[in-house]
Structure 1
């Protein structure tokens, strides 16, 4: 019997929003997937770029959605950012906090002194998302950064997904300070390595699998850390973005959702597929079904996602990351490409 995808790794590092839940609703299959891993003695880490809430709030939300979690399983960009500064400045040094009280608490827990004004002469600035950040707060951080303070940003996420749509994220305000100071911060969260490495180290993992929904943060972060990854289509990134992904954002596995963790690993791997043929030429890609499968679309070994994996395998061999025209070689392929949003 083939080994399940999660059983081939010593820990699962799971993104939150878009992977386990959307807003206040658990994504179908997430609860069962996590419970199965726990029942089999697997190791989990919940890894989030969100620096606005303490780990306790993350645990509370997951548990409220029937997704079991404990404090030791949560890794946040706030923790990673505070740890970066604790490694390079003296105990008791002041750090200007541009973010929530939860972010300030992470600094205090490591023996640093959170402040809110530049006149105190802070040694560093730690920037994370807060809905209450104002121009006055940005001005204080600007003064401290221009005076030479170390600057760490918890993440560079330009947008923040909400029930109302995409809103300005921490990265948007980081960019504002970059323009005002002429400096660039060190980043603790995904896709940079500090947060991802911290999560893997806390799990004692040598061969973890990172699971997420964003190519530019989750998958890129896994690639930079040398980890295998699974992209799920329950959040931000879609099929067209995946096909055109640059080398540093290409996952080893692709699936609809977390139910892929319990399926054989070879079912989700990006590789040639027996049910599909992909021709590459100067004008793009042509997808056709193979042999007996042409008359049995329901037996296409995963249908649309199987086709997508075949397309990615073919295109990634010859491209460093470009959009490409995809054509259908038969009616079944045409229907599948339409479902993927790729039909011309």
Structure 2
């Protein structure tokens, strides 16, 4: 089931931990309405932290980019998986430890900020840190793979298998992690979502007694929130569409669902199940023979909520997701991801 809040989420929670790719922007361009929605949430007293599994850029560059998009942000509002990875490494190996860097400038800056010493792939080191880097060379990947196989400790910034881009969903750092893992037989310590380090680091840096995770990915944002015991809001502006939502495993199911960040300014009702029918604010959903039927009228957000709850009940009961081929969201908005 989904959760409910009688007041807008921005009033119920004091901190929004906002994923970036697919939530605030996609391929560098602001998600339509995102800057305005975030300003409303901030005006309601909610603190905003911008967190990302992308380890390629330093926080100051991320903050500057957000400002260019019309989102108020300072460097200390941004927390990256690179920073979480650096925290893990310094806690294990201490200040001054030499760490092989396989990634971009953002990971290098995070390691240096914690007092670690980034070194090359052939240099003496106690560990290796890997992160997304579009310019990483294959010869460096090969050298690091051999060193990991031979016993070098490994911390991966994240395991995101895909990233949203303007030209569609593309391979993420998780593809490289899987390659290194299969070759070496070694499973890395992962700093990014859904593992704890990134969310723990965000709360440590930014504060917040009642945090809310806001993301577009079920397997990182939402599962990560559940692992650390915080509530979550899934928005449908990134990689999660209808097919992914109805197939969500129990550990991937959010507390709330909204088409976009406008959900922060809204109260969220929870659907009720009455005589096998899921009902909420004018909508009613039923699953017959594995096919969902939704009747009624109301907000787009509530349509997604009744569909989610009805589909999850079916999945839990029969072990297979519903067939969404004939299911079409209301025409008032199109929250499906590009690509």
Q: Is the 8 A contact 2:56 2:133 kept in 1?
A: yes
In the alignment, does 2:244 pair up with 1:206? no
Which SS does the other structure have where 1:200 is aligned?
Answer: helix
Rounded to whole Å, the distance in 2 between the matches of 1:103 and 1:8 is: 34
Q: Name the residue aligned to 1:287.
A: 293
Q: Cα gap change, 1:22/1:141 in structure 2, threshold over 3 Å: closer, same or farther?
A: same
Q: Match of 1:87, SS?
A: helix
2:320 corresponds in structure 1 to 322
CA distance in 2, matches of 1:340, 1:65: 20
Q: Indicate whether 1:102 and 2:99 are aligned.
A: no
Kindly state the Cα deviation for residue 69 of structure 1 after the two structures are TM-superposed: 0.3
1:245-264 pair list within 5 angstroms = 245-264=248-267
Which ranges in structure 2 are unaligned for 5 or more consecutive residues? 273-278
Pair 1:180-2:183 in alignment = yes
Give the corresponding residue for 1:157.
Answer: 160
Q: Structure 1 pair 313/134, CA: closer, same or farther in 2 (3 Å)? A: same
The SS at the match of 1:75 is: strand
Q: Aligned pair in 2 of structure 1 residues 35, 273: CA closer, same or farther (>3 Å)?
A: same
Distance 1:212 1:40 in 2: 20
2:25 is matched with: 21
Question: Aligned pair in 2 of structure 1 residues 194, 36: CA closer, same or farther (>3 Å)?
Answer: same
SS in 1 for 2:93: coil
Count of residues paired in the alignment: 322
Q: Give RMSD over aligned pairs.
A: 2.5
**Who is 2:307 aligned against?**
311
TM-score of the superposed pair, with normalisation by structure 1: 0.86
Inter-partner Cα distance in structure 1 for 2:171 and 2:310: 36
1:88 corresponds to: 92
- Give the direction of change, closer, same or farther, for the CA distance of 1:90–1:147 in structure 2 (3 Å limit): farther
Q: Which residue of 1 aligns with 2:36?
A: 32
- Helix, strand or coil for the counterpart of 2:280? coil
Contact 2:314 2:322 in 1 (8 A): no
Which whole-Å CA distance do the structure 1 matches of 2:335 and 2:33 have between them? 21
Larger Rg: 1
Check the 8 A contact 1:191/1:220 in 2, yes or no: yes
8 Å contact 1:13–1:47 — kept in the other structure? Answer: yes
Question: 1:269-290 deviations in whole A, cap 9, x for unaligned?
Answer: 4554142333345x2254353x
Task: Indicate if the aligned counterparts of 1:254 and 1:309 stay in contact, CA closer than 8 A.
Answer: yes
Unaligned runs of 5+ in 1: 294-299
* Offset of residue 258 of structure 1: 0.9
Deviations 1:161-219 (A, max 9, x none): 32233333211111111122111111111111110121123232232111111112111
Query: 1:57-96 maps to which residues of 2 (within 5 A)?
Result: 57-96=61-100
1:11 paired with 2:15, answer: yes
What stretches of structure 1 move > 6 A for 4+ residues in a row? none
Cα pair distance change 1:270/1:181, threshold 3 Å? farther
More relative contact order, 1 or 2 (CA 8 Å, 6+ apart): 2
Structure 2 CA distance for aligned equivalents of residues 238 and 43 of structure 1: 28
Query: Normalization by structure 2: what TM-score?
Result: 0.87
Once the 2 structures are TM-superposed, how far is the Cα of residue 245 of structure 1 from its aligned partner? 0.6
Q: Deviations over 1:114-149 (max 9, x none)?
A: 11133x331101000111111211122123212312
The offset of 1:334, in angstroms, is: 7.5
